[in-house]
Amino acid sequence: MSSPSLSSQIRDLTDEALRDLVPGPGRDMVSQIQAKLATPLTVTVAGGVSSGKSTLVNALLGQRIAAVDAGECTRVVTEFRYGVQERADVLGTDGTVTVLPLERGRMPEHLGRPTDQITSVVVHLSNELLRDVAVVDTPGLNTVTEANEDTTASFLGVSGREGHQTADAVGRADALVFLLPLLRQADAEVLRGFAKLFGGSGLSAASSIAVLSKIDRLGRDADPLQSARPIAERMAAELKGVVSAVMPVIGLLAETAHAAVFTEADARALVAIAAVDDALDREDMLLSAEDFLRTEVTDVDVATRRRLLAMLDIHGLGVAIAAVDQGATSAAGILQQLAARSGFDELRAAVIGRFAGQADLFKAHAALSDLRRASYLRTDSANTRVLRSLRSPLERIELDPAMHRLRMLEVAHAVAAGELALPDDLLDDVVALTTSQDPLSVVGSISGRSRETASAGAARWASWGNDARRSPDESRLARIVKEAYEVMWTELVGSTGGHDRSRELRIGDR
Ligand SMILES: Nc1nc2c(ncn2[C@@H]2O[C@H](COP(=O)(O)OP(=O)(O)O)[C@@H](O)[C@H]2O)c(=O)[nH]1
Ligand SMILES: [Mg+2]
């Protein structure tokens, strides 16, 4: 139990290698791997232009920092990292870095050079969330018009130059939050688009979530979260094995609820608006943005109404006014309702709880596959010997019991990248085993039945994997899942005080 974490074992290994490596590409590779291991988990937010990415980033950070709507900053990949010295480092395509101050806690208006000469912007913030995760905001695609919607890449918002940088950022991500428009295209095509995105990354359903964004714009439903649920479920079924969940979220309400922009003066204005006593007047006022700005039934000035509209939109205004009707009079009371109706809690729990909770695993997974690749590097003859010598300690790390969960991530990745097609019941197994922080919970409580579940799982995978129609790679991946079930079986036997009968459960090894 108390063996050092995988990532600390890997860190020791890279430390040792760096003592012997001479300057050259091999050394650069290993020091990059080590540096990446030391950085917090990178959560990348991607999706089409104007799908609400920056708004959601602000909600996560609890601070209105990412530029929303237009402006230079919305067109470059922006990474938010923890740093006491708050600033924005603009990384140029020529390798130079310009350091810009933040303007009253906001992104600078201008980045000092044309956006096509910028690789990315790294913003250092002393923000508590960033101690655990780095958050990356991506530009996506400029316009999603009917005309260019025929390619999957543009549908997913990842074509063009900004699209390329977005795809790069996704490739570097440890975890992904992908904002999806409502499905208008063949579902299979969306799947292929995702698979393409995941190709160069370590991402899988374990580390990816899709968000149905801006659902308040869908129609005039009283509760868009509720109406979006069946759509989200249908999409989750289509994307099973690719993302762990499809969550409907009203990012705008989440941002307003969490990013410290809503003031007591705003609350007073809402109280005044709610005080309009003619129900019909109130309804008319909330028909559209124009109606709300044009209305003459309150003396709340137009500038304030415009501000409220920008923070809440029409649906959010309805939610806020309903909160006042139910007795809320302060900003805190109204914001609590906005938060509750945004659908954001679930997303935040997934990002902060599940992703950050598995950070060590995700990091180790990426570092191990990078190190394995480095150990086969042939273009650095001065370092070949040292790089090769990484292989046997890497194999030793492979024997660590914690590696089972990591190998499961490999299976999940193969599924998400479209490299492993599974029958439905086996797909369910992979999803359940990799998206839960406690895989043991998958086979239920500690009882005879859960042991049965574990051994049935192992048998199911043995029989699929041993089928002559499987490719060697499919058989290998199947063996990983089979072993994961065997490990659980063993743990269940151990925890019920039974003697170690692990050897009795050796199903279908070849
Ligand atoms: N009604 C509504 N508007 C939203 C929502 N999320 C974002 N917006 C608005 O949509 C516009 C684009 O949002 P932005 O975050 O800049 O999108 P990005 O291009 O994906 O980063 C802004 O005007 C936001 O205020 C939402 O959940 N509901
Ligand atoms: Mg943006």
3-state secondary structure labels for all residues of 144-162: CCCHHHHCHHHHCCCCHHH
Q: Are 201 and 138 members of one domain? A: yes
Give the sign of the dihedral formed by CA 450, CA 454, CA 460, CA 461: positive
Residue 396 and residue 371: Cα distance in Å, rounded?
A: 13
Say if 58 falls within a structural domain: yes
For residue 55, which atom of ligand 1 is closest to its CA? 15
Ligand nearest to the CA of 253: 1
Residue 23 and residue 17: Cα distance in Å, rounded?
A: 12
Does 496 score more than 70 pLDDT? no
What is the pLDDT at residue 404? 81
* E strand map for 71-207: 78-82, 87-92, 97-100, 118-125, 133-137, 175-180
Does 117 score more than 50 pLDDT? yes
Averaged pLDDT for residues 457-478: 94
Q: Are 105 and 224 members of one domain? A: yes
According to DSSP, residue 69 is labeled S
For residue 56, which atom of ligand 1 is closest to its CA? 15
Segments forming the whole domain that contains residue 1: 1-38+360-373+386-423
Ligand nearest to the CA of 141: 1
DSSP letters spanning 417-468: TTS----HHHHHHHHHHHH-S-GGGGG-SSSHHHHHHHHHHHHHHHHHHHST
According to DSSP, residue 80 is labeled E
What is the best residue among 58, 73, 252, 286 to mutate for testing ligand 1's pocket, by most ligand atoms within 8 Å of CB?
A: 252
Which tens digits make up the pLDDT trace of 437-462? 666 666 664 455 688 888 999 999 99
Nearest to 311 by CA among 500, 68, 86: 68
Say if 428 falls within a structural domain: no
Residue 131 and residue 383: Cα distance in Å, rounded?
A: 35
Q: Are 29 and 119 members of one domain? A: no
Query: Is 343 a pocket residue for ligand 1 (Cβ < 6 Å)?
Result: no
Does 497 score more than 60 pLDDT? no
Which tens digits make up the pLDDT trace of 250-262? 999 999 999 999 9
Please provide the size of the chain in residues: 510
Count of the separate structural domains present in the chain: 4
Q: Are 393 and 468 members of one domain? A: no
Say if 467 falls within a structural domain: yes
Averaged pLDDT for residues 498-507: 45
Ligand nearest to the CA of 51: 1
% helix, strand, coil for the chain, step of 5:
55, 10, 30
The pTM assigned to this predicted structure is: 0.83
According to DSSP, residue 105 is labeled T
Q: Are 109 and 197 members of one domain? A: yes
| Distance between Cα 133 and ligand 1 center (Å) | 23
Nearest to 253 by CA among 217, 209, 302, 306: 217
Q: Are 219 and 349 members of one domain? A: yes
Q: Are 198 and 321 members of one domain? A: no
Say if 429 falls within a structural domain: no
Does 147 score more than 50 pLDDT? no
Q: Which residue has the tokens 């580390």?
A: 207
Nearest to 71 by CA among 30, 36, 115: 115
Residue 323 and residue 339: Cα distance in Å, rounded?
A: 11
| Distance between Cα 71 and ligand 2 center (Å) | 9
Query: Is 142 a pocket residue for ligand 1 (Cβ < 6 Å)?
Result: no
Give, for 15, the enclosing helix (H) or strand (E): helix 6-20
Q: Are 160 and 51 members of one domain? A: yes
Q: Are 175 and 286 members of one domain? A: no
Say if 380 falls within a structural domain: no
Q: Are 90 and 199 members of one domain? A: yes
Q: Are 364 and 507 members of one domain? A: no
CATH code for position 120: 3.40.50.300
Query: Is 250 a pocket residue for ligand 1 (Cβ < 6 Å)?
Result: yes
Residue 174 and residue 42: Cα distance in Å, rounded?
A: 5
What tokens appear for 92 in the block? Answer: 């140029």
Say if 291 falls within a structural domain: yes
What are the C-alpha distances in Å from 38 to residues 11, 134, 265, 375? 9, 12, 44, 20
Say if 301 falls within a structural domain: yes
- The residue contributing the CA closest to ligand 1 atom 12 is 50
What tokens appear for 208 in the block? Answer: 């990816």
What is the pLDDT at residue 293? 93
Q: Are 24 and 87 members of one domain? A: no
| Distance between Cα 240 and ligand 2 center (Å) | 27
What is the pLDDT at residue 146? 33
What is the best residue among 58, 60, 68, 215 to mutate for testing ligand 1's pocket, by most ligand atoms within 8 Å of CB?
A: 68
Say if 81 falls within a structural domain: yes
